Amino acid sequence: MAEERLRLKDKVIIITGGAQGIGRAYALGMADEGAKLVVADINMDKAEATAKEIRAKGREALALKTDVSSPESTQEMAKKAVDRFARIDVLVNNAAILEKIRITRLPFYELDLNEWDRVMAANLKGTLLCCRAVFPQMKAQGRAITIIVVLLLGGVTLVCTGFSHNNL
Ligand SMILES: NC(=O)c1ccc[n+]([C@@H]2O[C@H](COP(=O)([O-])OP(=O)(O)OC[C@H]3O[C@@H](n4cnc5c(N)ncnc54)[C@H](O)[C@@H]3O)[C@@H](O)[C@H]2O)c1
């Protein structure tokens, strides 16, 4: 496609959980539309592999080892994204613990509370922490932003796309 027709030309996009699965597919698709990607994932080997695929398309990509359930790690994610690309246009909150968890398959009275806490920390608190981490940069840019949240909690899926904030 001609460069001027790319819908995400030079947009800097952080995608959490971009190392594999749906996040990887988002990252590759956004790269096809001209975006610069930050692939933030707890699995650095796979994050780097996704970043490599993006670079092979001729787009820029930065892989970052990030734990979305950690305030320090998410702050570092935002800082390193800005250090590299000087801005953040979009945050895709996609990271989640899905594999090998049993909480979606058990009645509530049999749930392992440690597992519950781990899932909530990544899938719910992680979204809050990532939004908080990027917000100062997005506010400083003074431009419309989009935050996409894709979240699965105990069998309930919330997909909130395209929140445009013009009055930060
Ligand atoms: N797979 C489905 O059927 C489905 C359906 C609806 C919604 N979703 C949502 O789509 C998103 C992606 O799902 P998927 O199927 O690609 O999952 P996946 O398990 O294939 O990928 C999740 C990614 O998140 C990363 N991750 C996990 N914990 C993390 C943490 N603490 N910090 C940083 N990264 C972390 C993992 O390393 C992995 O790369 C999730 O938010 C999920 O809730 C998935």
pLDDT tens, residue by residue, 116-149: 899 889 988 999 999 999 999 998 988 656 666 6
Are 17 and 94 in contact, with CB atoms under 8 Å apart? yes
Whole-prediction pTM: 0.89
Asked whether residue 7 carries a pLDDT value surpassing 90, the answer given is yes
Please work out whether the CB of residue 99 comes within 6 Å of at least one atom of ligand 1.
yes
Note the pLDDT of residue 158.
40
The verdict on the CB of residue 22 being under 6 Å from ligand 1 is yes
pLDDT of residue 115: 83
Among protein residues, the one with the nearest Cα to ligand 1's atom 34 is 41
pLDDT tens for each residue of 44-76: 999 999 999 999 999 999 999 999 999 999 999
Alpha-carbon distance 168 to 119, whole Å?
A: 30
Residue 18 CA to ligand 1 centre (angstroms): 8
Is 155 close to ligand 1, i.e. is its CB under 6 Å away? no
Nearest to 122 by CA among 110, 111, 130, 133: 130
Q: Could you tell me the domains of the chain?
A: 3-165 (3.40.50.720)
Q: What is the pLDDT of residue 83?
A: 98
Please tell me the distance between residue 128's alpha carbon and the centre of ligand 1 in angstroms: 16
Residues 8-47 pLDDT 10s: 999 999 999 999 999 999 999 999 999 999 999 999 999 9
Cα 80 to ligand 1 centre (Å): 22
